[in-house]
Each structure stands twice: as structure tokens, then as C-alpha cells.
Chains A and B, each alone.
Chain A
């Protein structure tokens, strides 16, 4: 479903330039990736594809992505100084520039690492006008665009998991706006992305964490738009 535009899609958003797709979109993908990783990583590698790779330098796509991973929003004037700030934080960053026409023109893979945490790869696309989507997390298909609070789960593929998660949400009277599941192989690992109306509290996350054989759980909060 296409959502209705608001006045503030046309007079706004307030962003750091120069490009809504290549700068603000890049910030938002970085921001979502950082939230999904859960912490500021120690090392991050960005693989930029196609137009992101070709024109990214001149649009500050690199600074935007890195700033986003560090938690800067689209109107944060620190984005321009992302490289300096990352160096101060001892955050190692690198960029690779690739061409692959099976990929969206504005896409990026973000590999994040930190001691004591599993490496994570988040793929995102910038769709234009600052709209973005996270399309993959560690290879699983997702569609996270920051319009809703979104629960991200990776867990053992076995019967009843969807039920347990959704029953818990239902018991807290949380409405599900949309939901997407994926898995790598039967009986192995599976993933769930659940967009909900309203916010998911810390308590609910703690309860969800009690479900055995859930390997990863994150509440990716709605982006400020």
C-alpha cells in the first residue's frame, strides 16, 4: 500500500544536503543498521553499489552512512565531520565501491563488528526522497523502512515460534501492522520482521527474550520524519 503524502514530505524534511537519496537516505540506512546491530560497532565496512558507488563521494554518501551508524539523524550537522568523529571514537571504517546491476541503483551492504558480538551484515536501499528500506539482515529478507516500530527476530526454525511471539504481543494489546518471515533452511534459522502500531516497551522485549532459541531480538524504533 502506498501511504498518503503529507505536507511535510513536500516542505521538508530538514536535512543535511546535498541529496535526499544519496545523503539523507544514506544517513537513514546507517541509522537503521546501527539500531539493528544494537551498539556502535568497533569496525564497520560499507560496500556501496552502482550509483551510490559512482556518485557517493560527491554527495557525502560515505559521511552520511557512517554518521547514521554512529546515531546521527538526517538533520545533524555533525554528519559533515563523520570521518573525524569516527576517528576520535576509534571506530575503524572502510568503504568499497562496487558495480552489480542485479542490485538496486542506490544500495549498500554494511558489515558491523564488535568484540563479544556476532558480526552482522545489513543491506539497505535508498528509494528516493529520503525514503529507505533495510532489505536484508545477515542474509534474511526484511523490509524495514522506519515508518513503524519494528521487531526483528532471528531464531530457530521450529513450529510455534510465530504464535509465541504474536500471542505475547496480543497479550499486551499491540496491533501488528505488517509481518514478514523468512528462513535459511527447514529446522535451521528463521527470521521475523514485525511492524507494530505504537511502541514496544523494554518489558515486552525482556519477555520475548525469554522464549528459548531466539538468537537475536531488536526493537528498531520508528525514524523521526
Chain B
């Protein structure tokens, strides 16, 4: 079995065989996991269904997180759209934002989500795939193709870059999620392999250096809103790539650069809540209040 370490490896193999990236990926996974391609797709469908369920549940809940910091942003946006007739941006754009918030808010209220690639970045890929698929009436098989394409991008990035804020900052969580979602969207648009990789590359370039500085160390501030922002990044990447716009720097080199930047990033900006937003005046105040609250009722 050919080892697919870099994007150029899989791109060349796909070109040789005249296949789409998702086709190569599902064959590779089937071989690696010793199951059939149909079984790989069945597992992907299970996760796609779980993503849809999280969105459904998230859209109807206002339950706050255990800290009380977040949980009603999706409801607020939904309310705004209900009362806003202007429709400057399309329904699909609105849904991308809503679905991203719905998913990530399910996560913080201990609901069931699909880590994609991580729990803190779980809203981005589903928001883009599902909102656009609804608008385009994309069938389920094509949605599965898109999700496999997203997974392939995340997996190849992860061969070099650990997908963990604690190791490489948020560029490796929400940043990579945006690249995955952009690639998935190009697959839904029926773009070619080159466009898929360009969409991912354009996203990655623009998230480089994004730090992980969560207030009180929780997956809430700034993670919740960041999912909505980066879902729109993904759409931008796919739109540009579909127009034939290319990343000047090849994607494998961008990933190398992200690894380098991740290594240079201070440990204080890697999920440890010792700098950035976490240590702003307000960030520290929130941390102090939460610590006091939780010390009062531990184990309750």
C-alpha cells in the first residue's frame, strides 16, 4: 500500500489513476481498516447523520454551558433572521453561520457531536457541507464524498501537524477545520482535485499563527464564535478556488510553515490560558469568578 504522506503524493496518484481524491481516500481507508469501501462509506454516513442531529438539537436549545458563558448565540442569530426581512446575504450564508453555532453550542452543553477534526472546531465542516447541500439539494452520496474529502485533507495535514491547540495553537484546530470544509465544498461544487487542494491551501495560509488562548481554559471563548467565522473562511476558500484562483505556495509547503509557526508559538498561547484573551482584564475576572464558584460546590 502506497504511503500517502503529503498532498502531492495523493494528488499524483489520483492523476495517474484518473480518480477523485475521495475515491482514492475511501479505497485507502478500506484497505487500511480491512473493511470494504461500502463499509467505509457507511461509517462516514453514521458521522454525517450525527452531525445533522447535532445541528437539529442545537437549533432548538438555549441551554447555557456549565460556566454560563455561552450557549444562546445560535438562538440570538435565529431570532435576528426571523425578524430581518432585508436578506442582504443569502439564506445559505445565514444557515452556514447558524449551523456552525448550533453544533459548537451542542458541544459546550455536553451534547453529542462529531469531533471534526476536534471538539472545539466541530461546527465548521458540518455547517458548510450541510447548509450548502440543503440549498443545492445535494444527494446523500455526494455529501458523503464531500465529508471524505474533508477527512482526507485533515488526515494529510495531521501527518505533519498535530491537530491540537495544546501543540500547535488554534491554526491546527479551527484553522484545519476551515481547510477541510473548503475542500468539501469544492467537492460539492464538483470542482477538480487541483481546485480542492487550492481551496484548502488558501484557507490554511490565512489561519497561520492563530493562537489558542481560551478564557478560563474552556472550549467557549473565543471558540464558539470562531466556528462561525471560520465556516465563512471555508466558503471564501472554495469560491476563490472554483474561480481558478491558486495558492502561490503549494499546500505541502504551507503545512510545513504551519508546523514551524506552531513550534515558534509560545506555550502560553497553546491552550494553557496563560496569555492572550485568557489573561485580558475581563478574561482573568471570569476565570476568578468561575474558580470561586466551582470551589464552592465541587462534586455537585
Which residues of chain B are near A129, meaning CB under 8 Å? Answer: 115, 118, 163-164
Instruction: Choose among A5, A15, A19, A77 the residue that contacts B219 (Cβ–Cβ < 8 A).
Output: A19
Q: Residues 175-219 of chain B: 1 if any A CB is under 8 Å from the residue's CB, otherwise 0? A: 000001000000000000000000000000000000000001111
**Contact A14 B300, beta carbon cutoff 8 Å:** no
A51 CB within 8 Å of chain B: yes
Which residues of chain B are near A63, meaning CB under 8 Å? Answer: 110
**Contact B155 A9, beta carbon cutoff 8 Å:** yes
**Contact A58 B217, beta carbon cutoff 8 Å:** yes
State in angstroms the CA–CA spacing of A111 and B119 once bound together. 29
**Contact B110 A7, beta carbon cutoff 8 Å:** no
Q: Residues 112-143 of chain A: 1 if any B CB is under 8 Å from the residue's CB, otherwise 0? A: 00000000000000001110000000000000
B237 CB within 8 Å of chain A: no
State in angstroms the CA–CA spacing of A79 and B118 once bound together. 19
Which residues of chain B are near A51, meaning CB under 8 Å? Answer: 217, 272
**Contact B148 A7, beta carbon cutoff 8 Å:** yes
Q: Residues 251-289 of chain B: 1 if any A CB is under 8 Å from the residue's CB, otherwise 0? A: 000000000000000000000110000000000000000
**Contact A16 B112, beta carbon cutoff 8 Å:** yes
Instruction: Choose among A4, A7, A16 the residue that contacts B111 (Cβ–Cβ < 8 A).
Output: A16
Stretch at the interface among B39-47, B77-85, B92-100: B39-47
Instruction: Choose among B25, B32, B152, B163 the residue that contacts A4 (Cβ–Cβ < 8 A).
Output: B32
**Contact B33 A17, beta carbon cutoff 8 Å:** no
Q: Residues 15-33 of chain B: 1 if any A CB is under 8 Å from the residue's CB, otherwise 0? A: 0000000000100010011
State in angstroms the CA–CA spacing of A97 and B120 once bound together. 24
In the complex, the chain A residue whose C-beta lies closest to that of B219 is: A18
**Contact A15 B112, beta carbon cutoff 8 Å:** yes
In the complex, the chain A residue whose C-beta lies closest to that of B184 is: A11
Q: How many residues of A contact B (CB 8 A)?
A: 41
**Contact A7 B108, beta carbon cutoff 8 Å:** no
Q: How many residues of B contact A (CB 8 A)?
A: 57
Which residues of chain B are near A94, meaning CB under 8 Å? Answer: 299
B113 CB within 8 Å of chain A: yes
Among B286-300, those with CB < 8 Å from A are 290, 294, 298-300
**Contact A7 B119, beta carbon cutoff 8 Å:** no
**Contact B66 A11, beta carbon cutoff 8 Å:** no
A8 CB within 8 Å of chain B: yes
A164 CB within 8 Å of chain B: no
A172 CB within 8 Å of chain B: no
Which residues of chain A are near B40, meaning CB under 8 Å? Answer: 7
**Contact B115 A15, beta carbon cutoff 8 Å:** yes
A128 and B180 in contact, given A14-B113, A20-B118, A97-B298 (Cβ under 8 angstroms)? no
**Contact B300 A11, beta carbon cutoff 8 Å:** no
Which residues of chain A are near B180, meaning CB under 8 Å? Answer: 10
A184 CB within 8 Å of chain B: no
Min C-beta distance of B220 to chain A, whole Å: 8
B125 CB within 8 Å of chain A: yes
**Contact A55 B116, beta carbon cutoff 8 Å:** no
**Contact A17 B114, beta carbon cutoff 8 Å:** no
Instruction: Choose among B47, B65, B112, B294 the residue that contacts A8 (Cβ–Cβ < 8 A).
Output: B47
Among A65-101, those with CB < 8 Å from B are 75, 77, 79-80, 83, 93-95, 97
Instruction: Choose among B108, B125, B163, B216 the residue that contacts A17 (Cβ–Cβ < 8 A).
Output: B108
A31 CB within 8 Å of chain B: no
Which residues of chain A are near B107, meaning CB under 8 Å? Answer: 17-18
**Contact B218 A55, beta carbon cutoff 8 Å:** yes
Which residues of chain A are near B115, meaning CB under 8 Å? Answer: 12-15, 20, 24, 129-130
A23 CB within 8 Å of chain B: yes
Which residues of chain B are near A77, meaning CB under 8 Å? Answer: 111-112
State in angstroms the CA–CA spacing of A9 and B164 once bound together. 12
Closest 8 CB pairs of A and B: A17-B107, A10-B154, A55-B217, A57-B294, A80-B110, A11-B151, A58-B218, A7-B151
- Given A10-B116, A18-B110, 9 more A-B residue pairs with CB atoms under 8 Å apart are A14-B50, A15-B112, A16-B112, A18-B218, A19-B219, A23-B110, A77-B112, A97-B298, A128-B166
Q: Which residues of A contact B (CB under 8 A)?
A: 4-21, 23-24, 51, 54-55, 57-60, 62-63, 75, 77, 79-80, 83, 93-95, 97, 128-130
